[in-house]
Structure 1
Amino acid sequence: MSNPESFIEEVTEEVRRDRTMALMKRWGPVALAVVVVIVGGAAWNEWQKASAQSQAQAFGDALITALGGEDIAARRDAIAAVEPAREEQQAILALLNATALNNGEGGDPAAARARLLQLAETPGLAPLYRDIANLKAIMLGGTGDAAQDAAILETLALPGAPFRPLAIEQQAVQAMAAGDMATAVTLLRALTEDATATADLRRRAAETIVALGASPDPA
Protein backbone atom coordinates (compact mmCIF):
# COMPACT_ATOMS: atom_id res chain seq x y z
CA MET A 1 0.00 0.00 0.00
CA SER A 2 1.81 3.04 -1.32
CA ASN A 3 -0.57 5.55 0.24
CA PRO A 4 -1.75 4.55 3.74
CA GLU A 5 -3.51 7.87 4.29
CA SER A 6 -5.59 7.40 1.14
CA PHE A 7 -6.52 3.89 2.23
CA ILE A 8 -7.59 5.12 5.68
CA GLU A 9 -9.74 7.83 4.09
CA GLU A 10 -11.43 5.26 1.85
CA VAL A 11 -12.16 2.98 4.78
CA THR A 12 -13.47 5.89 6.86
CA GLU A 13 -15.73 7.00 4.02
CA GLU A 14 -17.02 3.46 3.58
CA VAL A 15 -17.80 3.16 7.28
CA ARG A 16 -19.59 6.52 7.18
CA ARG A 17 -21.64 5.39 4.17
CA ASP A 18 -22.61 2.17 5.90
CA ARG A 19 -23.74 4.04 9.01
CA THR A 20 -25.75 6.48 6.91
CA MET A 21 -27.49 3.65 5.11
CA ALA A 22 -28.28 1.95 8.40
CA LEU A 23 -29.72 5.17 9.80
CA MET A 24 -31.79 5.70 6.68
CA LYS A 25 -33.20 2.17 6.91
CA ARG A 26 -34.02 2.68 10.56
CA TRP A 27 -35.27 6.27 10.59
CA GLY A 28 -36.15 6.88 6.94
CA PRO A 29 -39.91 6.29 7.36
CA VAL A 30 -40.00 8.63 10.36
CA ALA A 31 -38.16 11.37 8.45
CA LEU A 32 -40.50 10.92 5.51
CA ALA A 33 -43.52 11.23 7.78
CA VAL A 34 -42.12 14.44 9.29
CA VAL A 35 -41.60 15.89 5.83
CA VAL A 36 -45.15 14.95 4.83
CA VAL A 37 -46.56 16.60 7.97
CA ILE A 38 -44.56 19.79 7.40
CA VAL A 39 -45.48 20.03 3.72
CA GLY A 40 -49.09 19.14 4.44
CA GLY A 41 -49.30 21.73 7.23
CA ALA A 42 -47.90 24.43 4.98
CA ALA A 43 -50.38 23.52 2.25
CA TRP A 44 -53.27 23.61 4.76
CA ASN A 45 -52.21 27.04 6.03
CA GLU A 46 -52.02 28.39 2.49
CA TRP A 47 -55.47 26.97 1.72
CA GLN A 48 -56.90 28.57 4.87
CA LYS A 49 -55.37 31.92 3.95
CA ALA A 50 -56.75 31.74 0.43
CA SER A 51 -60.17 30.69 1.73
CA ALA A 52 -60.26 33.53 4.29
CA GLN A 53 -59.22 36.04 1.65
CA SER A 54 -61.92 34.79 -0.70
CA GLN A 55 -64.57 35.01 2.04
CA ALA A 56 -63.48 38.52 3.00
CA GLN A 57 -63.60 39.66 -0.62
CA ALA A 58 -67.05 38.15 -1.15
CA PHE A 59 -68.30 39.80 2.05
CA GLY A 60 -66.87 43.17 1.05
CA ASP A 61 -68.41 42.94 -2.43
CA ALA A 62 -71.80 42.08 -0.90
CA LEU A 63 -71.62 45.07 1.45
CA ILE A 64 -70.65 47.46 -1.34
CA THR A 65 -73.62 46.24 -3.37
CA ALA A 66 -75.96 46.52 -0.38
CA LEU A 67 -74.83 50.04 0.52
CA GLY A 68 -75.33 51.14 -3.06
CA GLY A 69 -79.09 50.63 -2.91
CA GLU A 70 -81.40 53.24 -4.41
CA ASP A 71 -82.87 54.34 -1.08
CA ILE A 72 -82.52 53.65 2.63
CA ALA A 73 -85.26 51.01 2.61
CA ALA A 74 -83.50 49.09 -0.16
CA ARG A 75 -80.20 49.37 1.68
CA ARG A 76 -81.76 48.06 4.89
CA ASP A 77 -83.15 45.02 3.08
CA ALA A 78 -79.88 44.40 1.21
CA ILE A 79 -77.75 44.64 4.37
CA ALA A 80 -80.10 42.26 6.20
CA ALA A 81 -79.72 39.76 3.34
CA VAL A 82 -75.89 39.62 3.49
CA GLU A 83 -74.64 36.32 4.93
CA PRO A 84 -71.62 36.62 7.25
CA ALA A 85 -69.00 33.87 7.25
CA ARG A 86 -67.00 34.92 10.32
CA GLU A 87 -67.69 36.40 13.75
CA GLU A 88 -66.21 39.80 12.93
CA GLN A 89 -68.40 39.95 9.84
CA GLN A 90 -71.45 39.33 12.02
CA ALA A 91 -70.42 42.28 14.22
CA ILE A 92 -69.90 44.55 11.21
CA LEU A 93 -73.31 43.60 9.84
CA ALA A 94 -74.97 44.25 13.20
CA LEU A 95 -73.43 47.73 13.32
CA LEU A 96 -74.50 48.49 9.76
CA ASN A 97 -77.99 47.17 10.41
CA ALA A 98 -78.34 49.43 13.44
CA THR A 99 -77.05 52.43 11.49
CA ALA A 100 -79.44 51.76 8.60
CA LEU A 101 -82.31 51.26 11.04
CA ASN A 102 -81.64 54.65 12.61
CA ASN A 103 -81.23 56.64 9.39
CA GLY A 104 -83.65 57.99 6.86
CA GLU A 105 -87.39 57.78 6.49
CA GLY A 106 -88.94 55.14 8.67
CA GLY A 107 -85.90 55.09 10.96
CA ASP A 108 -86.30 53.74 14.47
CA PRO A 109 -83.59 55.10 16.81
CA ALA A 110 -84.95 53.17 19.79
CA ALA A 111 -84.74 49.87 17.91
CA ALA A 112 -81.28 50.75 16.62
CA ARG A 113 -80.12 51.56 20.15
CA ALA A 114 -81.52 48.26 21.43
CA ARG A 115 -79.65 46.34 18.75
CA LEU A 116 -76.41 48.11 19.57
CA LEU A 117 -76.73 47.41 23.28
CA GLN A 118 -77.51 43.78 22.52
CA LEU A 119 -74.45 43.56 20.28
CA ALA A 120 -72.27 45.06 23.03
CA GLU A 121 -73.36 42.25 25.37
CA THR A 122 -72.43 39.49 22.89
CA PRO A 123 -70.09 36.98 24.61
CA GLY A 124 -66.64 36.87 23.05
CA LEU A 125 -67.18 40.01 20.96
CA ALA A 126 -63.93 41.76 20.06
CA PRO A 127 -63.35 44.84 22.28
CA LEU A 128 -63.20 47.15 19.27
CA TYR A 129 -66.72 46.22 18.13
CA ARG A 130 -68.03 46.36 21.71
CA ASP A 131 -66.65 49.89 22.09
CA ILE A 132 -68.22 51.02 18.81
CA ALA A 133 -71.59 49.51 19.74
CA ASN A 134 -71.57 51.11 23.20
CA LEU A 135 -70.51 54.51 21.88
CA LYS A 136 -73.14 54.54 19.13
CA ALA A 137 -75.79 53.44 21.64
CA ILE A 138 -74.85 56.31 23.95
CA MET A 139 -75.10 58.73 21.02
CA LEU A 140 -78.62 57.44 20.36
CA GLY A 141 -79.80 58.04 23.89
CA GLY A 142 -77.96 55.51 26.02
CA THR A 143 -79.20 52.67 28.15
CA GLY A 144 -81.82 54.66 30.04
CA ASP A 145 -79.72 54.49 33.20
CA ALA A 146 -77.59 57.61 33.72
CA ALA A 147 -75.17 55.82 36.05
CA GLN A 148 -74.66 52.99 33.58
CA ASP A 149 -74.14 55.43 30.73
CA ALA A 150 -71.55 57.29 32.81
CA ALA A 151 -69.73 54.03 33.56
CA ILE A 152 -69.68 53.08 29.88
CA LEU A 153 -68.30 56.49 28.89
CA GLU A 154 -65.71 56.37 31.66
CA THR A 155 -64.38 53.10 30.22
CA LEU A 156 -64.44 54.44 26.67
CA ALA A 157 -62.59 57.59 27.77
CA LEU A 158 -59.67 55.80 29.43
CA PRO A 159 -56.20 56.84 28.20
CA GLY A 160 -55.28 54.85 25.11
CA ALA A 161 -58.86 53.79 24.35
CA PRO A 162 -59.50 53.94 20.59
CA PHE A 163 -62.54 56.24 20.83
CA ARG A 164 -61.41 58.32 23.80
CA PRO A 165 -61.99 61.77 22.18
CA LEU A 166 -65.53 60.90 21.09
CA ALA A 167 -66.28 59.46 24.52
CA ILE A 168 -65.05 62.65 26.21
CA GLU A 169 -67.31 64.68 23.92
CA GLN A 170 -70.25 62.51 25.00
CA GLN A 171 -69.27 63.03 28.63
CA ALA A 172 -69.50 66.76 27.98
CA VAL A 173 -72.90 66.27 26.38
CA GLN A 174 -74.05 64.32 29.44
CA ALA A 175 -72.74 67.07 31.72
CA MET A 176 -74.62 69.72 29.77
CA ALA A 177 -77.81 67.66 29.92
CA ALA A 178 -77.41 67.50 33.70
CA GLY A 179 -76.88 71.27 33.89
CA ASP A 180 -73.23 70.96 34.94
CA MET A 181 -71.77 73.50 32.53
CA ALA A 182 -68.49 73.86 34.41
CA THR A 183 -67.69 70.16 33.95
CA ALA A 184 -68.79 70.32 30.32
CA VAL A 185 -66.45 73.25 29.62
CA THR A 186 -63.55 71.51 31.37
CA LEU A 187 -64.04 68.36 29.27
CA LEU A 188 -64.39 70.34 26.05
CA ARG A 189 -61.25 72.37 26.79
CA ALA A 190 -59.36 69.10 27.26
CA LEU A 191 -60.60 68.04 23.83
CA THR A 192 -59.31 71.19 22.17
CA GLU A 193 -55.81 70.24 23.36
CA ASP A 194 -56.08 66.50 22.68
CA ALA A 195 -53.66 65.51 19.93
CA THR A 196 -55.60 62.30 19.30
CA ALA A 197 -58.80 64.21 18.51
CA THR A 198 -59.53 65.10 14.89
CA ALA A 199 -59.39 68.71 13.76
CA ASP A 200 -63.17 68.70 13.29
CA LEU A 201 -63.73 67.43 16.81
CA ARG A 202 -61.37 70.01 18.32
CA ARG A 203 -63.12 72.78 16.39
CA ARG A 204 -66.54 71.49 17.44
CA ALA A 205 -65.42 71.47 21.07
CA ALA A 206 -64.16 75.05 20.83
CA GLU A 207 -67.40 76.22 19.20
CA THR A 208 -69.46 74.53 21.91
CA ILE A 209 -67.40 76.23 24.64
CA VAL A 210 -68.08 79.61 23.04
CA ALA A 211 -71.78 78.76 22.73
CA LEU A 212 -71.78 78.08 26.48
CA GLY A 213 -70.45 81.59 27.10
CA ALA A 214 -66.94 80.54 28.06
CA SER A 215 -63.52 80.87 26.44
CA PRO A 216 -61.70 77.90 24.87
CA ASP A 217 -58.55 79.21 26.56
CA PRO A 218 -58.73 78.61 30.32
CA ALA A 219 -56.36 81.54 30.88
Structure 2
Amino acid sequence: MPRKVANLLALAVLGTVVQRPMHPYEIASFLRARGKGADMEIKWGSLYTVVRNLAKHEFIEVVDSQRAGARPERTIYRITDAGRAELRDWTRELVATAPPEHPRFKAGLSMLSVLPPEEAAAALRERLDELDQATAAQRALLAEHADVPRLFLVEIEYELAVREAEVTWVRGLLAELTTETFPGLAAWRTWHATGEIAPEHAELAERGAHREEPDE
Protein backbone atom coordinates (compact mmCIF):
# COMPACT_ATOMS: atom_id res chain seq x y z
CA MET A 1 0.00 0.00 0.00
CA PRO A 2 1.50 3.38 -1.00
CA ARG A 3 2.57 5.76 1.74
CA LYS A 4 0.34 8.80 2.21
CA VAL A 5 3.53 10.90 2.14
CA ALA A 6 6.10 8.88 0.18
CA ASN A 7 8.96 11.38 -0.07
CA LEU A 8 11.89 10.03 1.99
CA LEU A 9 12.36 13.54 3.33
CA ALA A 10 9.14 12.91 5.26
CA LEU A 11 10.81 9.97 7.01
CA ALA A 12 13.72 12.21 7.97
CA VAL A 13 11.33 14.88 9.27
CA LEU A 14 9.45 12.35 11.40
CA GLY A 15 12.74 10.98 12.69
CA THR A 16 13.70 14.50 13.76
CA VAL A 17 10.52 15.76 15.39
CA VAL A 18 10.17 12.48 17.29
CA GLN A 19 12.90 13.91 19.53
CA ARG A 20 11.05 17.13 20.36
CA PRO A 21 8.77 19.73 18.73
CA MET A 22 10.50 21.91 16.10
CA HIS A 23 9.74 24.44 13.40
CA PRO A 24 10.67 23.63 9.76
CA TYR A 25 13.80 25.80 9.68
CA GLU A 26 15.08 24.05 12.80
CA ILE A 27 14.25 20.65 11.27
CA ALA A 28 16.31 21.54 8.18
CA SER A 29 19.23 22.66 10.37
CA PHE A 30 19.17 19.38 12.30
CA LEU A 31 19.06 17.30 9.11
CA ARG A 32 21.94 19.20 7.51
CA ALA A 33 24.03 19.02 10.68
CA ARG A 34 23.58 15.26 10.81
CA GLY A 35 24.43 14.79 7.16
CA LYS A 36 21.11 13.19 6.25
CA GLY A 37 21.50 14.45 2.72
CA ALA A 38 24.19 11.79 2.32
CA ASP A 39 21.88 9.02 3.57
CA MET A 40 18.89 9.72 1.32
CA GLU A 41 18.01 11.97 -1.59
CA ILE A 42 16.76 15.19 -0.04
CA LYS A 43 15.42 18.16 -1.98
CA TRP A 44 15.51 20.98 0.53
CA GLY A 45 13.09 23.08 -1.49
CA SER A 46 10.46 20.42 -0.78
CA LEU A 47 10.78 20.61 3.00
CA TYR A 48 7.86 22.94 3.69
CA THR A 49 5.64 21.01 1.27
CA VAL A 50 6.53 17.75 3.04
CA VAL A 51 5.83 19.29 6.43
CA ARG A 52 2.42 20.52 5.25
CA ASN A 53 1.59 17.09 3.83
CA LEU A 54 2.59 15.37 7.06
CA ALA A 55 0.31 17.75 8.97
CA LYS A 56 -2.48 17.20 6.44
CA HIS A 57 -2.37 13.45 7.09
CA GLU A 58 -2.08 14.03 10.85
CA PHE A 59 1.39 12.55 11.23
CA ILE A 60 2.47 15.83 12.86
CA GLU A 61 0.45 18.67 14.38
CA VAL A 62 0.91 22.30 15.27
CA VAL A 63 1.75 22.77 18.91
CA ASP A 64 2.79 26.44 18.98
CA SER A 65 3.89 29.41 16.88
CA GLN A 66 6.61 31.94 17.63
CA ARG A 67 7.63 35.33 16.30
CA ALA A 68 10.98 36.93 17.04
CA GLY A 69 11.14 40.62 16.17
CA ALA A 70 10.51 41.29 12.50
CA ARG A 71 11.10 37.68 11.48
CA PRO A 72 8.23 35.67 9.96
CA GLU A 73 6.14 33.65 12.35
CA ARG A 74 7.49 30.14 12.90
CA THR A 75 5.04 27.29 13.33
CA ILE A 76 6.21 24.55 15.67
CA TYR A 77 5.21 20.95 14.99
CA ARG A 78 5.22 17.83 17.11
CA ILE A 79 4.79 14.22 16.09
CA THR A 80 1.45 12.50 16.69
CA ASP A 81 0.75 8.89 17.66
CA ALA A 82 -0.08 8.22 14.01
CA GLY A 83 3.24 9.78 13.06
CA ARG A 84 5.14 7.56 15.49
CA ALA A 85 3.42 4.49 14.06
CA GLU A 86 4.20 5.62 10.49
CA LEU A 87 7.84 6.27 11.39
CA ARG A 88 8.28 2.80 12.88
CA ASP A 89 6.39 0.98 10.12
CA TRP A 90 8.22 2.82 7.33
CA THR A 91 11.64 2.22 8.91
CA ARG A 92 10.81 -1.47 9.36
CA GLU A 93 9.80 -1.73 5.71
CA LEU A 94 12.99 -0.07 4.46
CA VAL A 95 15.17 -2.32 6.60
CA ALA A 96 13.30 -5.57 5.95
CA THR A 97 12.54 -5.46 2.22
CA ALA A 98 14.89 -5.58 -0.77
CA PRO A 99 13.11 -4.20 -3.86
CA PRO A 100 15.06 -4.18 -7.15
CA GLU A 101 17.16 -1.06 -7.59
CA HIS A 102 18.59 0.46 -10.76
CA PRO A 103 21.88 2.20 -9.91
CA ARG A 104 23.63 4.27 -12.56
CA PHE A 105 26.75 2.08 -12.45
CA LYS A 106 24.72 -1.01 -13.31
CA ALA A 107 23.20 0.82 -16.30
CA GLY A 108 26.70 1.78 -17.46
CA LEU A 109 27.96 -1.79 -17.11
CA SER A 110 25.05 -3.05 -19.20
CA MET A 111 26.44 -0.96 -22.08
CA LEU A 112 30.15 -1.55 -21.43
CA SER A 113 30.63 -3.21 -24.83
CA VAL A 114 30.14 0.11 -26.64
CA LEU A 115 33.52 1.22 -25.26
CA PRO A 116 36.75 -0.27 -26.59
CA PRO A 117 38.38 -2.46 -23.90
CA GLU A 118 41.14 0.09 -23.25
CA GLU A 119 38.62 2.90 -22.77
CA ALA A 120 36.51 0.71 -20.49
CA ALA A 121 39.60 -0.03 -18.39
CA ALA A 122 40.43 3.68 -18.17
CA ALA A 123 36.89 4.47 -17.01
CA LEU A 124 37.12 1.75 -14.35
CA ARG A 125 40.42 3.21 -13.11
CA GLU A 126 38.74 6.61 -12.74
CA ARG A 127 35.90 5.00 -10.78
CA LEU A 128 38.39 3.23 -8.51
CA ASP A 129 40.08 6.55 -7.74
CA GLU A 130 36.74 8.04 -6.68
CA LEU A 131 35.82 4.95 -4.67
CA ASP A 132 39.18 4.98 -2.88
CA GLN A 133 38.67 8.62 -1.91
CA ALA A 134 35.11 7.95 -0.74
CA THR A 135 36.04 4.92 1.36
CA ALA A 136 38.96 6.79 2.94
CA ALA A 137 36.61 9.66 3.84
CA GLN A 138 34.09 7.27 5.39
CA ARG A 139 36.75 5.47 7.42
CA ALA A 140 37.95 8.84 8.68
CA LEU A 141 34.38 9.81 9.56
CA LEU A 142 33.88 6.64 11.58
CA ALA A 143 37.19 7.22 13.37
CA GLU A 144 36.24 10.84 14.08
CA HIS A 145 32.98 9.72 15.68
CA ALA A 146 34.40 6.81 17.62
CA ASP A 147 32.67 8.13 20.75
CA VAL A 148 29.22 8.02 19.11
CA PRO A 149 27.15 4.90 19.87
CA ARG A 150 27.35 2.45 16.98
CA LEU A 151 23.55 2.49 16.64
CA PHE A 152 23.78 5.97 15.12
CA LEU A 153 26.57 5.07 12.67
CA VAL A 154 25.31 1.83 11.13
CA GLU A 155 24.25 3.55 7.89
CA ILE A 156 27.83 4.76 7.39
CA GLU A 157 29.14 1.24 8.15
CA TYR A 158 26.75 -0.16 5.55
CA GLU A 159 27.74 2.32 2.86
CA LEU A 160 31.43 1.69 3.57
CA ALA A 161 30.94 -2.09 3.32
CA VAL A 162 29.08 -1.71 0.00
CA ARG A 163 31.79 0.57 -1.41
CA GLU A 164 34.55 -1.79 -0.29
CA ALA A 165 32.77 -4.72 -1.96
CA GLU A 166 32.43 -2.67 -5.14
CA VAL A 167 36.13 -1.76 -5.03
CA THR A 168 37.03 -5.46 -4.81
CA TRP A 169 34.78 -6.35 -7.75
CA VAL A 170 35.92 -3.46 -9.95
CA ARG A 171 39.58 -4.23 -9.24
CA GLY A 172 38.96 -7.82 -10.30
CA LEU A 173 37.27 -6.78 -13.56
CA LEU A 174 40.02 -4.26 -14.30
CA ALA A 175 42.68 -6.92 -13.66
CA GLU A 176 41.02 -9.23 -16.19
CA LEU A 177 41.02 -6.47 -18.79
CA THR A 178 44.64 -5.45 -18.22
CA THR A 179 46.00 -9.03 -18.08
CA GLU A 180 44.05 -10.04 -21.20
CA THR A 181 42.19 -12.79 -19.30
CA PHE A 182 38.68 -11.40 -19.77
CA PRO A 183 36.64 -13.90 -21.84
CA GLY A 184 35.96 -12.75 -25.42
CA LEU A 185 38.34 -9.80 -25.16
CA ALA A 186 39.80 -10.41 -28.64
CA ALA A 187 36.34 -10.42 -30.25
CA TRP A 188 35.40 -7.27 -28.31
CA ARG A 189 38.53 -5.50 -29.53
CA THR A 190 38.06 -6.72 -33.11
CA TRP A 191 34.51 -5.39 -33.22
CA HIS A 192 35.71 -1.90 -32.36
CA ALA A 193 38.61 -2.12 -34.79
CA THR A 194 36.75 -3.52 -37.80
CA GLY A 195 33.03 -3.35 -37.04
CA GLU A 196 32.82 -7.12 -37.48
CA ILE A 197 30.72 -8.91 -34.87
CA ALA A 198 32.03 -12.26 -33.67
CA PRO A 199 29.86 -15.16 -34.96
CA GLU A 200 28.88 -16.24 -31.44
CA HIS A 201 27.78 -12.69 -30.59
CA ALA A 202 25.84 -12.36 -33.84
CA GLU A 203 24.11 -15.65 -33.15
CA LEU A 204 23.15 -14.50 -29.67
CA ALA A 205 21.71 -11.24 -31.03
CA GLU A 206 19.80 -13.09 -33.72
CA ARG A 207 18.39 -15.51 -31.17
CA GLY A 208 17.15 -12.60 -29.06
CA ALA A 209 15.58 -10.87 -32.06
CA HIS A 210 13.53 -13.94 -32.94
CA ARG A 211 12.54 -14.91 -29.44
CA GLU A 212 8.79 -15.35 -29.19
CA GLU A 213 6.81 -12.64 -27.46
CA PRO A 214 5.41 -13.79 -24.10
CA ASP A 215 1.70 -14.48 -23.93
CA GLU A 216 -0.32 -11.60 -22.54
TM-score by length of 2: 0.22
Pick the structure with more strand per residue: 2
Larger Rg: 1
